[in-house]
């Protein structure tokens, strides 16, 4: 059959039709445990009994108006995000790349406002920030960039977790205005920035009057067991792009900014048609409310620990498991070989997972995951991994 959908994804050969909680069903009626959460999007799982009626109510009132009008729901969600982050102001958009694109604009204008005509931004190896021309230029993956040159200039790329490299740039490059990184790299293989490094980056940004911009599109919104992953280091960024999990599946993005960044964009500098629409705002407001009401952050921390412990126990004595990384329900299991074939094998065993950076199994289940579901996930994954690693390396 000819497909009229552009061929941009390697898709598995089944279609999901509906879900409930952490379980989804395909069009043939087969059932899966959702260990992927729509890539960290389905914070509340599927068809959440508190979210569904709220969204139905909102759709019945208004889905979209325009940013021409006062926006009380934007005010409400922005106030909540500021309360949770300790930051001061929010711009709403619809996706992660847009939030990052806006953050890059803030950094450049911050530089221009300080008289730096060619502002540069420190970015990282293995980073992923999106697929627009600017965000793919900031991304540190040659596969994402191949074929799309010329890339946007003004980025200085460094290895992750290396403060000396940042200090060297601070000494030698007067055009730098910001450091931009994922608190925990997602697509790059679940690579955490160390807590001491985050604190060091905060200090350097303060000394240099640079913006610390933390891309929490994937690791934010409670997934690590705190609202935002950088809160484990007790620091605050100047700019924090959010998206994925904030709307539990309704497209939403946000740029959250602190005192040094919140007034950089002025009327006419930035905008979007869909950003901040009532449906997306309601989804964000209800997601955060339900997360608090149902204690989903402590749950994410506890279930993450449970899965990690289960995998470590189940894999004792097995060669080929290199490292388990991440925090809470953002888990990367690095193997000693490429493991893309596990996507289909896991699905056939009733579990949805992701594989990223070729050899890292990535788990990003909904934050409502129960202990029984965590055990079920481990119970499916461990035998799969044992079988896979027992075979000779290809
Ligand atoms: C997914 C992701 C993005 C891009 O988000 P889109 O909504 O796909 O544009 C950016 N940064 C990080 C860290 C991501 O995980």
* Ligand 1 atom at minimal distance to the Cα of residue 244: 7
- Dihedral pair phi/psi, residue 23, rounded to 5°: -120, 140
- Which sign, positive or negative, has the C-alpha torsion 280, 283, 287, 293? positive
Choose the final residue of a domain: 276, 293, 310. 293
Query: 269 and 368: one domain?
Result: no
* pTM of the predicted structure, to 2 decimals: 0.98
Q: How confident is the model over 12-47, as pLDDT tens digits?
A: 999 999 999 999 999 999 999 999 999 999 999 999
Could you tell me if the CB of 182 is within 6 A of ligand 1?
A: yes
Query: 142 and 282: one domain?
Result: yes
Q: How confident is the model over 324-337, as pLDDT tens digits?
A: 999 999 999 999 99
Query: 76 and 211: one domain?
Result: yes
So what's the pLDDT on residue 330? 98
Query: Above 80 in pLDDT, residue 1?
Result: no
Query: 281 and 323: one domain?
Result: no
Write out the residue range of the structural domain in which residue 136 sits.
Answer: 51-293
d(CA 226, CA 115) in angstroms, rounded, equals: 37
Omega of the bond leading into 150 within 30 degrees of 0 (cis): yes
Q: What is the mean pLDDT of residues 283-312?
A: 98
* Ligand 1 atom at minimal distance to the Cα of residue 39: 1
Q: How confident is the model over 362-373, as pLDDT tens digits?
A: 999 999 999 999
Residue 315 covered by a domain: yes
Confidence of residue 392 (pLDDT cuts 50, 70, 90): confident
Query: 167 and 37: one domain?
Result: no
Confidence of residue 210 (pLDDT cuts 50, 70, 90): very high
Q: How confident is the model over 337-355, as pLDDT tens digits?
A: 999 999 999 999 999 999 9
Q: How confident is the model over 270-279, as pLDDT tens digits?
A: 999 999 999 9
Query: 322 and 284: one domain?
Result: no
CA–centroid distance, 393 to ligand 1, in Å, is 32
Query: 195 and 315: one domain?
Result: no
- Residue (of 369, 383, 309, 288) closest to 37 by Cα position: 369
Give the DSSP H or E segment for 24.
Answer: strand 23-26
Query: 92 and 170: one domain?
Result: yes
Query: 238 and 314: one domain?
Result: no
- Residue (of 187, 152, 202) closest to 354 by Cα position: 187
Q: How confident is the model over 169-209, as pLDDT tens digits?
A: 999 999 999 999 999 999 999 999 999 999 999 999 999 99
| CATH number reported for the structural domain that contains residue 40 in this entry | 3.90.1150.10
The torsion region of residue 195 among left (phi > 0), alpha (psi -120 to 50) and beta comes to alpha
How many domains would you assign to the chain?
2
Residue 10 covered by a domain: no
Query: 231 and 259: one domain?
Result: yes
């Amino acid at each position: 059959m000819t497909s009229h959908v552009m061929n941009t994804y390697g898709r598995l050969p089944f279609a999901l039709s509906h879900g409930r909680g952490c379980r989804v069903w395909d069009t043939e009626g087969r059932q899966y445990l959702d260990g992927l959460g729509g890539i960290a999007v389905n914070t509340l799982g599927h068809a959440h009994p508190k979210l569904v009626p709220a969204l139905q109510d909102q759709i019945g009132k208004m889905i979209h108006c325009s940013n021409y009008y006062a926006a009380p729901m934007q005010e409400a969600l922005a106030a909540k995000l500021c309360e949770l982050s300790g930051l001061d102001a929010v711009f709403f958009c619809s996706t992660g790349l847009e939030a990052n694109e806006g953050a890059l604009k803030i950094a450049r204008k911050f530089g221009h406002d300080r008289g730096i005509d060619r502002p540069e931004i420190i970015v990282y190896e293995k980073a992923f920030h999106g697929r627009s021309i600017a965000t793919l230029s900031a991304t540190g993956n040659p596969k994402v960039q191949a074929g799309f040159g010329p890339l946007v200039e003004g980025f200085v790329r460094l290895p992750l977790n290396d403060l000396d490299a940042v200090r060297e740039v601070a000494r030698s490059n007067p055009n730098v205005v910001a450091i931009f990184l994922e608190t925990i790299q997602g697509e790059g293989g679940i690579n955490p920035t160390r807590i001491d490094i985050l604190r060091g980056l905060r200090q350097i940004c303060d000394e240099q009057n640079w913006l610390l911009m933390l891309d929490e599109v994937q690791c934010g919104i409670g997934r690590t067991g705190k609202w935002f992953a950088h809160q484990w280091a007790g620091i605050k960024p100047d700019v924090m792009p959010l998206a994925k999990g904030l709307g539990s599946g309704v497209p939403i993005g946000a740029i959250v900014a602190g005192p040094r960044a919140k007034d950089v964009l002025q009327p006419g500098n930035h905008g979007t048609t869909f950003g901040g629409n009532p449906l997306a705002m309601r989804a964000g407001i209800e997601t955060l409310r339900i997360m608090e009401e149902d204690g989903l952050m402590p749950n994410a921390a506890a279930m993450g620990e449970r899965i990690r412990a289960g995998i470590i126990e189940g894999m004792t004595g097995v060669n080929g498991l290199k490292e388990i990384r991440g925090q809470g329900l953002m888990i990367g299991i690095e193997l000693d070989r490429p493991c893309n074939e596990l996507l289909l094998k896991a699905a056939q065993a009733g579990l949805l997972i992701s594989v990223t950076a070729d050899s890292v199994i990535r788990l990003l289940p909904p934050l409502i995951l129960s202990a029984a579901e965590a055990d079920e996930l481990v119970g499916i994954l461990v035998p799969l991994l044992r079988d896979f690693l027992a075979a000779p390396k290809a």
